[in-house]
Amino acid sequence: MLLQPVILSGGSGTRLWPLSREKHPKQLHSLVGEQTMLQATASRLHGFQGDVTVASSPMVVCNEEYRFITAEQLRAVGVNTPSILLEPAGRNTAPALTLAALAAVQHQADSVLLVMPADHVIADQVAFHQTIQAGLSHALNGAMVTFGIVPDRPETGYGYIEVGENFDTGLVRKLKAFAEKPELSVAQAYVTSGNYLWNSGIFLMRASVWLKAIGHLNPAMLASCQQSVELAKVDCDFIRIDKESFLRCPSDSIDYAVMEKLPVSPELSIIGAVVPLNAGWSDVGAWDAVWQVSEKDSQGNVVHGDVVLEDSKNCLVMSDSRLVTCLGLEDMIVIETPDAVLVTDKKNTQNIKRIVSRLKTASYPQTENHRKVYRPWGHYDSIDNGEQFQVKRIVVKPGGRLSMQMHHHRAEHWIVVSGTALVTRGMDMMTLFANQSTYIPLGVRHRLENTGDVDLELIEVQSGSYLGEDDIVRFDDIYGRG
C-alpha cells in the first residue's frame, strides 16, 4: 500500500499581512526556519519508517495564481516531479481533497492519503512520524483518522475535537464530536476535562473511503469533481482542473462535509478515529503565533532582518528591506516590507483581516502582490515609479525566456547589469552583456532570454501613458500563459 502525502495549499493567510498576500500567501514564506512552510510540509515525511511505502513526491492542490513559484519551491527541496492540481477557484478543503483522491485512484489505484495543510509548523518530526504510524492501521482498515493536538492552554482561536474511549491499548481514540471555537471559559473546561483536543486539520484515510463518504454525504460535490478531473489537462508539472465543471462544485470544509457527520451517520459504516498529536504543532495563523513558536532572545524578543531594539521586550519585529528601530515597546508586532508596514499590539493580531478588508475595498494593490513579483522565468521588483515612468529590476533564471510580446502604451529601455541577454526586437536579434543596453519602441514585438549559466539581471525603464501589467499582448509563451 502506498502512503500518498496530499498538501492543501490554497489558503491566503490574511492575518499574516503584509508578508502574506493573495498571490504570495504565507505557505510560500519562511516564517520559522530556513525553508518555506510549503517546503517544510513537503519534507515532513522524509525518513518515515512505517508499514507502507511513501510516494516519491507529494500531491499538491493549489491556486493557479502561484503555480510556478509552488513548483519552483518544491524543486528546490528535491521534489522534481510533483503532481500539482490547479484549482480554478477556491472551494474550501473538501473539494480540494476530493480532487486529490480522484487523481490518486486514477493513477495509483487505492492509496492512503495523508492530508496536510501547507502552512503549519511541526517542530518534532520524529514524534510526528510516530503519530502517523499509530493511525495507519486504522486508516488501512477503512477508518477516517484525524489528528488532535494535545492542548497546553485554553485557546479560543482553535476548533476542538471531542474524543471518546480508546479503541484498544494504543493511543487512538474514537471520534465523538467537533466543537467550534469556544469562549475562554468553555475552552478552559475543555482542557480540564482531558477529552478535547485542538483540531489540527491533518487527516489520514484511504482515497476510496473518502470518495465513498463524500459520494454519500454530498453527491453534487463528488459529481462536479469527477467531471473536473475527467476533463483536466496536463500541462508540464500541472494538472489543470476543468474550470466550468469545478465552478459548479459546492464549497465546504473536510470537517463540515464529512468528519463531523461520521458519528451520526451509522449507515456509512465508516469509523472516525482521533490520534493525539504532541509534536510542537502550530497553524501559525497570526503574528502572535509566529512569536510563540520562534526562538527568542533574553528579553523575549523575536527579530528578523536589520532590526535594533532598545528597552523593548516580548516583541516580534521583522524587517525585509530597511533598518527598523524600536524603543520602549512591549508585546508589539512590527512587520516591514518594501511597500507596507504593520504595527499592532499582539492582542490585536486576530483582527488584521479587518485592515486587509479595508485595503481591498479601497483597491490597494498591496493586498494582492508584493513589490517583488515572481514569474516562471524569474522575478521583477518595481523599485521606482512616477508620472508616466516606472523602473524595474528584472532577474531572469538561466534558461528563462519571457514571452514574445508587445505593448500598446509604453516603450522600454533595458540596461544589462550582469549576465547574458538574448534580445529579440522586431526582426532583429542581439546578445547583450554587462553595461550594454537597448531600446524597445512602443508597439514593437520583443522577447528577452537568458542564454547564460548564471542569473541575468537588468534594469528596465518603462515610459508611456499607461504602465499596467495588463498592457501585454503575448504572441508566444513557453509557460502557456495567454
Report pLDDT digits (tens) over 177-204: 999 999 999 999 999 999 999 999 999 9
Whole-Å CA distances, 257 to 61, 166, 222 = 18, 25, 11
Kindly report, residue by residue over 201-239, the tens digit of the pLDDT: 999 999 999 999 999 999 999 999 999 999 999 887 799
Kindly report, residue by residue over 71-85, the tens digit of the pLDDT: 999 999 999 877 899
Q: Do 230 and 158 share a domain, yes or no?
A: yes
Q: Give phi and psi for 412, each to the nearest 5.
A: -140, 140
* Residue 83 domain flag: yes
Q: Do 48 and 169 share a domain, yes or no?
A: yes
Q: Give phi and psi for 274, each to the nearest 5.
A: -125, 130
d(CA 152, CA 415): 56
Kindly report, residue by residue over 348-367, the tens digit of the pLDDT: 998 999 999 999 999 999 99
Report pLDDT for 237: 76
Among 282, 315, 348, which residue terminates a domain?
A: 282
Report pLDDT for 200: 95
Q: Do 329 and 202 share a domain, yes or no?
A: no
Q: Do 154 and 191 share a domain, yes or no?
A: yes
Q: Do 59 and 151 share a domain, yes or no?
A: yes
Enclosing domain of residue 383: 372-476
* Beta-bridge partners for 395: 379, 457
Judge whether residue 169 has pLDDT over 70: no
- Tally of domains within the chain: 3
Note the helical H segments in 281-347: 287-293
Q: Give phi and psi for 300, each to the nearest 5.
A: 80, 15
Judge whether residue 481 has pLDDT over 80: no
* Beta-bridge partners for 60: 7, 84
Report pLDDT for 220: 97
Report CA 328 to chain centroid distance, whole Å: 35
Judge whether residue 157 has pLDDT over 80: yes
CATH number assigned to the domain comprising residue 467? 2.60.120.10
Kindly report, residue by residue over 389-442, the tens digit of the pLDDT: 999 999 999 999 999 999 999 999 999 999 999 999 999 999 999 999 999 999
Among 228, 252, 282, which residue terminates a domain?
A: 282
Kindly report, residue by residue over 128-150, the tens digit of the pLDDT: 999 999 999 999 999 999 999 99
d(CA 321, CA 381): 12
Q: Do 418 and 348 share a domain, yes or no?
A: no
* Residue 190 domain flag: yes
Among 264, 282, 300, which residue terminates a domain?
A: 282
Beta strands in 24-159 (DSSP E): 53-54, 59-63, 83-87, 112-117, 121-122, 144-149
* Residue 367 domain flag: no
Q: Dmax over Cα atoms in the chain, in whole Å? A: 76
* Residue 482 domain flag: no
Q: Do 382 and 451 share a domain, yes or no?
A: yes
Q: Do 102 and 225 share a domain, yes or no?
A: yes
Q: Do 119 and 235 share a domain, yes or no?
A: yes
Report pLDDT for 482: 65
- For residue 85, what is the DSSP state? E
Residues in the chain, overall count:
482
Name 194's Cβ contacts closer than 8 Å, sequence gap at least 6. Answer: none
Report pLDDT for 480: 80
